[in-house]
Amino acid sequence: MGASGIRTLSRSLCDILNAVGTSERHGTNIVTLVNFDYRGFDTLGEEYILFAAVIGAVLLMRTHRGEKTSARPGKVSEQPVPLRTDAVALGSRPALGLTLIFGMYVVLHAQLTPGGGFQGGAIIGSATLLLYLGFGYRTWRQVMPTAVLDPVEAFGAGAFVVAGLAAMAAGAPFLTNLLPLGKTGSVISAGEIPLINIAVAIAVSTGFAVLFVEYLEETREPDAGDEE
Amino acid sequence: MDFLAPLTVALPLVVAAILIGGAHLWPSQWPDAVAALTAATVAIMAVFLAGAAAKAGPLVYWFGGWTPRHGIAIGIAFVVDPAGAGCAAFVAVIFCASFVFSWGYFDQVHARYHALMLIFLAAMAGFALTGDLFNFFVFFELMSTVAFALTGYRLEASALEGALNFTVTNAIGSFLMLAGIGLLYGRTGALNFAQLSRALSGHSADGLVILAFALLIGALFIKGAIVPFHFWIADAHSVAPSPVCVIFSGIIVPIAIFGAARLYWSVFAGSGIAQAQLRPLLVWLGTATAVTGGLVALMQRDVKRLLAFSTVSHMGVLLVGVGLLSAGGLAGGMLYLLGHGLVKGALFMVGGILLASCAGIDEIELRGAGKAFPLTGIAYALGGLLLAGLPVGLEHQGRELIDAAAEAHGYAFLAPILSATGGLTGAGILRGAGRIFLALGPEPGEEQQSPSEEEREQQDRPVWLMLLPIGAMLACELMLQAFPTEAAVRVAAASFTATGSVVATVLDGATWSPPPAPPGVTETQMMGPIIGLSVALGIAALELGRHHFPRNLVRVADLALGWLFSALDRLHNGIVGDYVAWLMLGLLVIGGVLAIG
Amino acid sequence: MNHAAFLLPAWLFVIGLYGIITSRHFVHLIGCLTVVQSSTYVLLLSVGYRTGAGAPIFADHPVGSPAVDPVVQALVLTDIVVGATVTALLLALALQVHKRKGTLDPQRLRPLRP
Amino acid sequence: MTPLQIGLYLLTALSGAAVVLTREPRRQAFMMGLNGLVLALLFLTLQAPDVAYSELAVNMVALPFLFLVTLAAARINQHRRQEDK
C-alpha cells in the first residue's frame, strides 16, 4: 500500500523501472529515462503541445496587432509604464550569465541529476527576460529577431520527430535509441537522451522567448512613423 | 504494415515543423498543397492499417521497442484496431477536404494555420490509435490546445469572448482527465489500457474507480458537447473560421464520444462498474442532449450557431448508440459518426461560402442573398434533409442500427423521440435554406436587424473550388452505402468491444480470433424517416409561412412556447462561471448515479 | 492519515473552481485556473509517494534503495512547462478580448446572441 | 508523513486559497509566484526534485511575468481607448 492511501493492486511498472532503469539505460535519473526513453512518445506529444500553444499565441497577437510597433513603451495617463528601473538593470546583467550557465547545466545533466530539457529550457527562456531587464528593449529585440526565433523553435520540435524517424529508417520501432549507451555517470551517456534533451531545450527556451517577445510588444506604442 | 502506425502521427508533425521552420520561404499556395497532400497520405496509410487490422486482428506497436515483460507493459503502445484506424482515415479525409476548401484563404499567416491544422490531424490520429491512458491524455490535450489557437484566430469576429468560454471549460476538462488518470494509476500502477483492464477486472468497483471513471468520462463529455457540458460549443463555433468549424463539428466533438467508448471498452468494461446503472445514465444523458440541442438549434438565426447546436443534438443520438453498451449500438454509433461528420462538414462549408460571398451569416439578414448560388442552396437543403432522416446514406444506416439496439435493450420508445430531434435540427436548416436561397418567409423588419457586426471571410477563391469538397463529402455520405461499409463497421465494432481478446493480444501476444459481428438490420423501418421528415418539413413550413397565418394564432403559439425557449435561452447566457457550475453539476450527477448503484 | 493526502488536491480543486465561478476579471480567472491545475499535480505526486523512500535518482544512493514512483513525476514535470504555455495562450486571448471590448469582466462579456 | 510535509501541505492549502481570494489581478500575480515557491518546496519533500525545478522555473518566474505584462498591456490599451474618445 502506498502512503497515498490507495489500495494498490500492483506497483510493478514503477518497481521495474526503478530496479532496471540504470543498468539498462546507463542513466541515474529514472525520471529522465522515463521521459525521454521509456515514454519518449508522450514527451514528443507534450513538446508539440508547447509548440502549438506558442504558434497560437503568436498568431493571435501578431495578427491582431498592427504590423509594426515602436520601441517606445506604452503610456498610462501620459506616463510611460516603467517595467524596469536602474537598479534592476544593474542587477540583471550578472544574473543573466549565471542563469544561462545554470540552465545549460540543468539541460546537460538530465540523465544524471534532477533536470532536463523542459526545466532547463524554461530557465534559459526566462533568462532572456534578464536580457531585457539588463540591456533594455532595443538591444533585446536586436539579439532576438523573430525571424530567427521561429525557425529555431521549429527545428527543436522537428528534431525530436526526426530522431524517431531515424530509428525507423534503421529498421527499429519509432524512437528506439540508436546510439551507444556510454558509461553510467558521464555527461555523454544514456544514448540519445542528451541529444533529445538539447532539442527539447531549444524548443522550450525559444518558445518562452517568443512568448516574452510577443507579450512585451503588446506594451509598446504603435509605430506612428513620426520618430525614427 | 505495422510501421505505418507511428507514421500517421509522425508525418504530419514533421511536416508542421518544416512549414513553420521555413514559413517565410514558401511561395503562396505551397502550404495549401503540402498540407492537403499530407492529409491525403495519412488517410491512405490509415486505410491500409484498417485493412490489415481487419484481417489479422489489432496490430500492436510498441514505441521505442519497449515490449511488455512478463505480461507487464513498460512503454507506450498503439493498438491499431479496424475502428481506430478507420476513424483516423475518416479524420484525415475530412482534413483533406477542409484544406481544399480553405485553399488560399490563409495566405497571409505564413503557413501557421496549416502547421496548426496538421498538428491537429496528428493529435486526432494518435487519439484514435493509442492504447495508453497517458498518451491518450497527451493527444487529448494537444487537440484542445490547437483548438484554442484556431478558435481565437479570426480577426473580425464580433464574439472573440466566445473563445474564452471555450478555452476555460475545455482546460478544466483536461484537468479533470489528468486527475482521473492519477487516481487510476494510483489504484493500478499501470497506464496501458490492456494492463489497466486486467488490473481492474474481477474487483468490485469502489468509490475511487467510480470517481476516476466519472472524471475521465466528464472530461470527454465536455469535448463531446453532451448536456450539461455543451455550453461552450456555440460560442466556439461562431468564432472559429468555417474550415476549422468543419473539423470541430465534424470530427473533434464526435471523436470525444468515440474516445469515451474506447475508454469504456478498453479499460472499464470488466471493472465492476455496473452496466445496470451506466446504461440508463448514458442513454438518458444522450436523449436529453438530443432534445435540448434540437430545440436550441431551432432558436438560432446565425447559421453557424444553428449548425453548432444541431451538432449537440446529433451527439446525443451518438451517445445513445454508444451508451447502449452493445456491439450493435456501437456499430450504429460509428456509422452515424461517419455520416454526420460528412454532412455537417459540408453544411459548415456552405456557411463558409455565405460568409465569403454574401458577407454575412445571419439567416434573416441574408434573406434571398443566396439566389445566385443555386448549387450551394441545393447542397444546404440536401444536408438538412439528410440530418432530418432521409432514408439513404451512412447516417440513416447508423440510426437504424441504433434503433435496433435500443429496442433490444428495452428502449424501443426512444426511436421516435430521436427521429423527432433529427427533424428539429433538419427544420432549422431547411428554414434557413428556404429563407436564404429562395427568399421565402416574411420580409425582415427594422427590429429584425442582425445584432452582429458585419463579418466577412476573405474571398479570393472561386466558388466552384469551395463547392468541390462539399459535393465530394455529400457524395461520400450517399455512395458509401453501396459499398459494404455497414458490414465492415459491424466487424470493427465487434473487435472494438472484445475486451478480453484485445488484452490478451496486447499483453501476451495471443493469437487473435475474430469475434462474431453483431447482426445487421434486415427490414427497413420507415417510421423514423417519416417522423423526422414530417417534423422537419412541417416546422420549416410553419416558420417560413407564419405571416400567412392569422395573427392571433401566431401570438397564442408564441405565448405557449415562449417560456420554454426563453428559459433555454437564459441558460446559454455566455457567462463562463455559470458554464463551469453546470459542468460540475453534470459531474456530480454522473458520479452520484454510478456510486448509488 | 493516509486519505488526508487527498484532502489537499481536493481542496485546491474546489477553491480554484470557486474562484473561476465567482471571478469578475478574466486575468484573475486564469490565475484560478492555474490553482485547479496545480491540484492535479499534487494529486499525481501524492499517488506516487511512498513513506521513507528517496527520489528516483540513483546518483547518490545505490540502485535498489527504496524510491518513489518515477512515472508520475515524468508525467507531471512535462505537463507543468506545457501548462504554462497554454496559460500564456489563454492570456493572449484575454488580451485580444480586452482590446476589442475594453473590459475583462466575464459578466459584461457576453457573446452576442440571436 | 513527516511534520515538514504536513506543514507544507497546510501551507499549500493556504497559498492556493490566497491566489484565488486575491481578487486584484496584479497582487494575484505576485501571490502566484509565492504559491509556485510553496508548491516547489512541497514537491521537493515528496521526493520529486525534477518537478520542483519545473515548478520553480515556470510558476515563480515566467508565468507571473506574463500575467503582469498582460495587465500592463491591458492598462495601456485602456488608456489608448480613452484617448481615442
Q: Is residue B554 very low, low, confident or very high in pLDDT (cuts 50, 70, 90)?
A: confident
pLDDT in tens, D40-61: 999 999 999 999 988 988 888 8
Higher-confidence residue: B235 or B405? B405
pLDDT at B349: 92
Average pLDDT over residues B518-524: 82
Average pLDDT over residues B208-220: 93
Whole-number average pLDDT of chain A: 80
- Count of Cβ atoms closer than 10 Å to residue A62 Cβ: 16
pLDDT at B453: 45
Residues of C in contact with D29 (CB under 8 A): 31
pLDDT in tens, B288-311: 999 999 999 988 888 888 999 999
CB pairs under 8 A between B and C: 118
CB contact under 8 A, A18 and C55: no
CA D8, CA D11: separation in Å to the nearest integer?
5
CA B203, CA A9: separation in Å to the nearest integer?
10
Average pLDDT over residues B156-170: 74
Q: What is the ipTM of this complex?
A: 0.93
Range with the poorest average pLDDT among A63-77, B45-59, B192-206, C4-18? A63-77
pLDDT at B239: 77
- Count of Cβ atoms closer than 10 Å to residue B339 Cβ: 26
For chain B, the domains span 4-443+456-596
CA A111, CA B217: separation in Å to the nearest integer?
36
pLDDT at A137: 81
Say if CB B470 and CB B350 are below 8 A apart. yes
Q: Which residues contact D46 (CB under 8 A, 6 or more apart)?
A: C45, C46, C49, C68, D5
pLDDT in tens, B38-91: 999 999 999 999 999 998 889 999 998 898 888 888 899 999 999 999 999 999
pLDDT in tens, B88-100: 999 999 999 999 9
A8: pLDDT strictly greater than 60: no
Most A-contacting residue of B7, B18, B20 (CB-CB within 10 A), to test interface: B20
Q: Is residue A186 part of a domain?
A: yes
Most confident range (mean pLDDT) of A83-92, C55-64, D16-25 is D16-25
Cell 438490420 locates to B521
CA distances from B332 to A62, B171, B490, B518, C19 (A): 45, 31, 8, 10, 42
CB contact under 8 A, A74 and D65: no
pLDDT in tens, B239-253: 788 888 899 888 999
Question: Between helices B82-101 and B485-497, what is the axis angle to 10°?
Answer: 130
Most A-contacting residue of C6, C65, C71, C99 (CB-CB within 10 A), to test interface: C71
Q: Shortest CB distance from A49 goes to which of B64, B135, B142? A: B142
Q: Is residue A29 part of a domain?
A: yes
pLDDT at B88: 95
Q: For residue B410, which amino acid is it?
A: G
CB contact under 8 A, A147 and B145: no
Cell 539579439 locates to A143
Whole-number average pLDDT of chain B: 87
pTM confidence score:
0.93
Q: How far is A74 from chain C (nearest CA, A)?
A: 14
Average pLDDT over residues A64-81: 63
Say if CB A50 and CB C85 are below 8 A apart. yes
pLDDT at B430: 93
CA B378, CA C4: separation in Å to the nearest integer?
63
pLDDT at A226: 38
Average pLDDT over residues B180-197: 91
Range with the poorest average pLDDT among A72-81, B59-68, B355-364, C100-109? A72-81
Q: Is residue A70 very low, low, confident or very high in pLDDT (cuts 50, 70, 90)?
A: low
CA distances from B344 to B162, B288, B341, B429, C93 (A): 21, 21, 5, 11, 27
Range with the poorest average pLDDT among B2-11, B248-257, B357-366? B357-366
D near B: at least 3 beta-carbon pairs less than 8 Å apart: no
pLDDT at D29: 92
Q: Is residue A80 very low, low, confident or very high in pLDDT (cuts 50, 70, 90)?
A: low
Chain B residue closest in CA terms to C30: B168
Phi, psi at B60, each rounded to 5°:
-110, 125
Average pLDDT over residues C79-87: 86
Nearest partner of B135 among B236, B64, B230, judged by Cα: B64
Q: Is residue A65 very low, low, confident or very high in pLDDT (cuts 50, 70, 90)?
A: low
pLDDT in tens, A153-177: 999 999 999 999 999 988 888 988 8
pLDDT in tens, B407-421: 999 998 999 999 999
pLDDT at A66: 55
Higher-confidence residue: B350 or A138? B350
pLDDT at B406: 93
pLDDT at B126: 96
Q: Chain C contact for B549, CB < 8 A? A: no
Average pLDDT over residues B152-175: 77
B287: pLDDT strictly greater than 50: yes
Residues of C in contact with A23 (CB under 8 A): 63
Which CATH code fits C4-101? 1.10.287
Sign of CA dihedral B318, B320, B323, B329: negative
Residues of A in contact with D52 (CB under 8 A): 114
Q: Is residue A71 very low, low, confident or very high in pLDDT (cuts 50, 70, 90)?
A: low
Q: Is residue B189 very low, low, confident or very high in pLDDT (cuts 50, 70, 90)?
A: confident
pLDDT in tens, B102-112: 887 766 667 88
Name all chains with 3 or more CB-CB pairs below 8 Å to chain A.
Answer: B, C, D
For chain D, the domains span 3-84
Tell which B residues from 6 to 65 touch A, by Cβ distance under 8 Å: 6-7, 10, 13-14, 16-18, 20-24, 61-65
Residues of C in contact with B568 (CB under 8 A): none
Q: What percent of chain A has pLDDT over 90?
A: 18
Residue A184 CA, distance from chain mean position = 25
pLDDT in tens, B451-479: 444 445 555 677 788 888 999 999 888 88
Q: Is residue A36 part of a domain?
A: yes
pLDDT at B451: 45
Q: Is residue A75 very low, low, confident or very high in pLDDT (cuts 50, 70, 90)?
A: low
Cell numbers at residue B235, please? Answer: 460560442
pLDDT at C1: 34
Average pLDDT over residues C37-42: 94
Chain B residue closest in CA terms to A167: B64
- Count of Cβ atoms closer than 10 Å to residue A145 Cβ: 10
Average pLDDT over residues A179-183: 81
A52: pLDDT strictly greater than 60: yes
CB contact under 8 A, B574 and C75: no
A10: pLDDT strictly greater than 60: no
CB pairs under 8 A between A and C: 133
Q: How far is A82 from chain B (nearest CA, A)?
A: 29
CB contact under 8 A, B63 and A174: yes
Average pLDDT over residues C16-37: 92
Note if the bond before A82 is cis, omega within 30 degrees.
Answer: no
Q: How far is B586 from chain C (nearest CA, A)?
A: 14
CB contact under 8 A, D54 and A32: no
Q: Is residue A19 part of a domain?
A: no
HSE of A76, CA atoms in CB hemisphere, 13 A = 12
CA B285, CA B269: separation in Å to the nearest integer?
19
